[in-house]
Amino acid sequence: MKGIFPGSLSARHKLQGYSSGAFSVICLFLAFWLSFLPEALYSSCSTPILIMLLIGLAVSVFAGRIASFGTKDFLVVLFLAILSFNLIWVKDRPAAASCFVKFVLPGPILYFLFKNEFPLSKNKKAFLALFGVFALIVAGFAVVEFILDRNLIFEKLIYNAFYLFFLFQRRAMATQSVPQVLGVFLGALLPLFFEAFIAERRKKQRLIAGIMTITIGAGVFVTFTRGVFLAVLAASLFYAFFKNRKMWRHIILIFVTLVLFSTLITKFNPTSRVGAVFFRFSIGMLVDSNSRANNWKIALQMAKDHPFAGVGLAQFRSYYGFYNPEIKRDYAKIADNMYLTILAEGGVIVFLSFVFFIYILMRDAVKYIRAKRSDSGLVLALSSGFLIILFAMVYFDALLWVVPLYMFWIYCGLLAALTTGMKE
């Protein structure tokens, strides 16, 4: 597509070169930043990061790299537009404006940037490989943290309000602020390297992919996060459904064995170090969601009382006290479910546009996989990683944490880019 402003062909080519260069720099920055201490940097640098992304998208648009505008794109714009108007009437405008800048606006920018630029990039494999190397380092650090029962980063270098709480639970955090975020980060990348292991025919590369898969899988495991555990199960079954359905029996056997072992060790030796962490994968803990169920009821009641426009962006905590005045701790006033948070704060139209966008994205991905195109394996791996993010969002407010937020929208952009041309 031609650029927005007319000019010579050489000028447009030069601008397109700048666009490719800017995208490569952004990818390098995102891979490094999301892997290493993202929350610590984001609290003070969210505006410069947003400006960098805006500049990258602006260069892409002026260079004429805009892909076709379809239903998915319209739903993203609708989602952003309604939440923008949401800022006008909310009770706590500073909180809403801060949330909009940090956790709403970056999403669509990432989506359109990756959708426009990724298909034209010459460094696709390099970007994914770099992410894999960083994830390998983070996963290795998580395993070491679990073995040593300490995290030197949060002990010596950076303050983390959640550190002692999760240290007591013996759940790894590595470079992320909480185990849930670490689990989503590594879990979303895990299918990519498993697919590389399955598809690779060269022995050396296959061995490297296998080591990366095992290490990243171990990193996910030592977070002992139930939501991610169930998300990995769902994504594994999804992957096997399209790849090789005979894998189902092995997947189910592994997960059932793990749950039974966790249940038995919890029953007979609950005070041991093993029992203290494995109890989170026991049958009792996997089905126990009393605290979440209470927050889910509050979120649904909030949505029922404010169905069309919601209570407003970042206003959930402000309204929480009306429904449960006994809870005084601010960090506990959450829905513990990203979908219900969107429904309660944004209203029905925002919620439906968000859910319908996800549906169309996954529908097109499934069509692409079934068509067995050249990149079907990559789309299957990305879709499986994306499913892990989607399932994890049932168990915590994932998109209010920077890493799951950025991973979600990057994956949306990648899937939209790779499946462009599938009939909507």
Most confident of the ranges 246-250, 268-272, 280-284, 302-306: 302-306
- Nearest partner of 150 among 127, 171, 134, judged by Cα: 171
Question: Mean pLDDT, to the nearest integer, of 184-193?
Answer: 93
* Least trusted range by pLDDT, from 51-65, 116-130, 176-190, 240-254: 116-130
C-beta of residue 255 within 8 angstroms of C-beta of residue 235? no
HSE toward the beta carbon, residue 227, CA cutoff 13 A: 25
Binned at pLDDT 50, 70 and 90, residue 268 comes out as confident
Does 216 score more than 90 pLDDT? yes
Question: Mean pLDDT, to the nearest integer, of 347-362?
Answer: 94
Binned at pLDDT 50, 70 and 90, residue 136 comes out as very high
* Least trusted range by pLDDT, from 21-25, 27-31, 91-95, 395-399: 21-25
Does 119 score more than 50 pLDDT? yes
Does 253 score more than 70 pLDDT? yes
Question: Mean pLDDT, to the nearest integer, of 61-69?
Answer: 73
What pLDDT score was predicted for residue 5? 46
What pLDDT score was predicted for residue 59? 83
- Nearest partner of 136 among 200, 40, 218, 28, judged by Cα: 218
Distances (CA, A) of 92 to 315, 318, 338: 7, 8, 20
Question: What tokens does 12 get?
Answer: 């447009």
**Strand extents, DSSP E, 360-418:** none
What pLDDT score was predicted for residue 290? 59
What pLDDT score was predicted for residue 289? 57
> Where are the alpha helices (H) located in 269-331, listed in sequence order?
273-278, 283-287, 290-305, 316-323
Does 69 score more than 90 pLDDT? no
What pLDDT score was predicted for residue 280? 74
- Nearest partner of 390 among 338, 317, 346, judged by Cα: 338
Q: What is the pTM of this model?
A: 0.91
Does 1 score more than 50 pLDDT? no
Question: Mean pLDDT, to the nearest integer, of 245-256?
Answer: 87
Torsion of CA 344, 350, 356, 358, to 10 degrees: -80
Secondary structure class of 252 (helix, strand, coil): helix
**Strand extents, DSSP E, 9-164:** none
What pLDDT score was predicted for residue 336? 87
Question: Mean pLDDT, to the nearest integer, of 4-32?
Answer: 70
Query: Which tens digits make up the pLDDT trace of 402-417?
Result: 999 999 999 999 999 9
Question: Mean pLDDT, to the nearest integer, of 65-77?
Answer: 83
Q: Is 366 left (phi over 0), alpha (psi -120 to 50) or beta?
A: alpha
Q: Please state, rounded to an integer, the average pLDDT across all residues of the chain.
A: 85
CB-neighbour burial class of residue 79 (10 A; exposed 0-12, middle 13-18, buried 19+):
buried
Does 330 score more than 70 pLDDT? no
What pLDDT score was predicted for residue 380? 94
Question: Mean pLDDT, to the nearest integer, of 44-48?
Answer: 84
Match 């692409």 to its residue by tokens. Answer: 368
Does 118 score more than 70 pLDDT? yes
What pLDDT score was predicted for residue 403? 93
Binned at pLDDT 50, 70 and 90, residue 304 comes out as very high
